Amino acid sequence: MERPLDDIDFYDTASKIAPESQPSEEVEQFVQEGMSLRDCITSLSSRTSQEDMVALYREKLILETAREHDIQAILFGDSATALAAKTLSLTAKGRGYALPWETADHSLSHNGIWNIRPLKGLMYAELLIYGRLVELPVSSPMSTKEGKANSIDHLTQRYFLGLEEQFPSLVATVVRTTNKLVEPLPRDQALGDCSICGMSYRYGARKWLRDITVSEAAPVAEASSGLGRCSPEYVTGPETLCYGCVVALRGSKSDMKWPSISLIAEHPLQSRNNDKKTVLNEFELG
66-84 confidence digits (pLDDT tens): 988 999 999 998 999 999 9
Phi, psi of 74 (to 5 degrees): -120, 130
On whether both 77 and 138 belong to a single domain, the answer is: yes
Q: Number of structural domains, the chain?
A: 2
Whether 193 maps to a domain, the answer reads yes
pLDDT at residue number 253 = 65
Alpha-carbon torsion 250, 255, 256, 259, what sign? positive
84 and 28 assigned to the same domain: no
Residues 162 and 101 in one domain: yes
Query: Is residue 3 included in any domain, yes or no?
Result: no
Contact in structure between 248 and 93 (CB atoms under 8 Å): yes
Tell me, yes or no, whether 49 lies in a domain: no
Sign of CA dihedral 219, 222, 225, 227: negative
Burial 130-141 (b: 16+ CB within 10 A, else e): eeeeeeeeeeee
Terminal CA-to-CA distance of the chain, rounded, Å? 29
User: Is residue 273 a part of any domain in this protein?
Assistant: yes
Does 209 lie in the same domain as 278? yes
161 and 245: one domain? Answer: no
d(CA 119, CA 122): 6
Considering all CA atoms of the chain, what is the largest pairwise distance in Å, rounded to the nearest integer? 68
Report the pLDDT value the prediction gives residue 214, as an integer from 0 to 100.
56
Show pLDDT as tens, one digit a residue, over the chain (286 residues). 444 444 444 334 444 444 444 444 444 444 445 567 777 788 888 889 889 988 888 888 888 889 889 999 999 989 999 999 999 999 999 888 889 888 888 888 777 889 999 999 999 999 989 988 998 887 665 555 565 657 899 999 999 999 998 898 999 999 999 988 887 666 455 566 777 787 777 666 566 666 665 555 555 544 443 333 334 444 444 567 788 888 888 767 656 666 655 333 333 333 333 433 343 343 343 3
CATH number of the CATH domain containing 96: 3.40.50.620
Element (H, E) at 259: strand 257-259
**Residue 286 is part of which domain span?**
8-42+185-215+226-286
pTM of the complete model = 0.68
pLDDT at 85 (0 to 100):
94
**235 inside domain:** yes
Query: Do both 85 and 99 map to the same domain?
Result: yes
* Same domain flag for 172 and 248: no
Q: Are 253 and 266 contained in the same domain?
A: yes
d(CA 113, CA 63): 8
Same domain assignment for residues 78 and 150: yes
pLDDT score at 159:
92
Which of 183, 203, 237 is the last residue before a domain boundary? 183
